[in-house]
Amino acid sequence: MTDNNTAFHVVNLGCKVNRVESDDFAAALIASGGCEVPIEAADFIVVNTCTVTGEAEKKTRKAVRQSLRANDFARVIVTGCAAAIDPITYTEMDPRVEVVPKNAMGELLGATRGESPTLAAIRAGEDFPTRAGVKVQDGCNNACTYCIVHVARGRATSRPSEEIVAEVRELARAGVREIVLTGINLGSYREDDLRLADLLRLLMRAVDEEFPVDAGLGVVPRVRFRVSSIEPRDVSDDLIELMAASNGRICRHLHLPLQSGSSKVLREMRRPYDAQRFLTLVDKLYAAMPMLSLSTDIIVGFPGETEEDFQETCRVAEVCHFSKMHIFRYSKRAGTPAAERDDQVSPEVKADRAKRLEAIEERLRAEDLARRAGMRELALVESEGNATTESYHAIPAPADACVGELAECEL
């Protein structure tokens, strides 16, 4: 357990789920009387690690070493995926390092998480982002050949809907206007017959009960929801219909990981779709929501990827009109099948392909923003002068808009 008045610092690496978990750690420490400070002044440092690629693990090791160098007296807690896979690497760095599994962090921090989280421990206010993530699911039953997260996180599990509803109610009461549902494999959410679309209906109903529609907010919702990264096979017709009918209460934006536009490469990655199936889904999404914006993840230089394979990726990206592409150069992760292959792509080729795809990404993003010119969207004011639209574009905030507000903006 931590002491009251703990001076702490949280170092976060990796995915959006890690970000939510790190904010949970900070909220728990603040609720128990702690104070977030610069790393050099902290007497308690939490490093939330990532191990999705070899490069991510290098960054994790570097972050722990930097924490130790920056502060020569703090207790350093290392948690997260990298620590789960290889705890000894971190405990051997320094006697001050402790490796703590994620499921033991609540007890360590003095946190309580239940059906009715206290407002004091909610991730809202000036210490936290205006957009709040809510983790509804953890773990993954897939085994993509480049990934080890399913080993680090374990089998897919879903959080009880009652607990999620309670947290969303508290966030809404605290003034949060955009809530992002997150998970390691978000679309696999299951609670008996309840699926992701059903959960979203429950959450919208819960907000409406707290803040009736006639509360003076007009067409601006009290809270809008955003679906975080979701696997293509988990985008159900029910979810599409719900998003389309929600009139922006569920953002008409999806992050749909492609990884490659080559069906051959997708098969070797052990992804559960081919390029044509992905394109068919994209067509269905745009037909239901013409104003949809689609972002994605793409890996370049996967072992055995040829120039022809890469060109297929470029072609699919063009057809999908992605508004944002997160482009990763393949990085070997020890313990995965892809790392053992003897047809690794050279760093020079990976760098060249990434550069060419980045040029396409920049053009597609500009084209997506241009097609929205003159249209109006609700934007969340993230900081003074900066806002993010429903379609996930960064724009200048209206001069009279307050941080945390949903404001109607013309693009």
Q: What is the 3-state secondary structure (H, E, C) of 240-291?
A: HHHHHHCCCCECCEEECCCECCCHHHHHHHCCCCCHHHHHHHHHHHHHHCCC
As a whole number of angstroms, the distance between CA 290 and CA 196 comes to: 22
167: CB partners within 8 A, 6+ apart: 117, 122, 134
Write down the pLDDT at residue 126: 61
Look at strands 7-12 and 35-36 and give their pairing. parallel
Q: How many CA atoms lie within 13 A of 273 on its CB side?
A: 19
In total, the chain counts a number of residues equal to 411
Write down the pLDDT at residue 121: 55
Q: How far is CA 188 from CA 140, 147, 157, 185, 235, in A?
A: 8, 18, 9, 6, 10
Write down the pLDDT at residue 214: 53
Crossing angle of helices 347-371 and 307-320, in 10° steps, is 10
As a whole number of angstroms, the distance between CA 186 and CA 182 comes to: 6
Instruction: Report yes or no: 357 and 314 within 8 Å, Cβ to Cβ.
Output: yes
Write down the pLDDT at residue 28: 85
* Residues in the chain where the model's pLDDT stays below 50: 112-120, 215-217
225-249: per-residue pLDDT in tens?
999 999 999 999 999 999 999 999 9
Q: Which amino acid is present at 387?
A: A
Write down the pLDDT at residue 212: 79
369-403: per-residue pLDDT in tens?
999 999 999 999 988 889 999 999 999 998 888 89
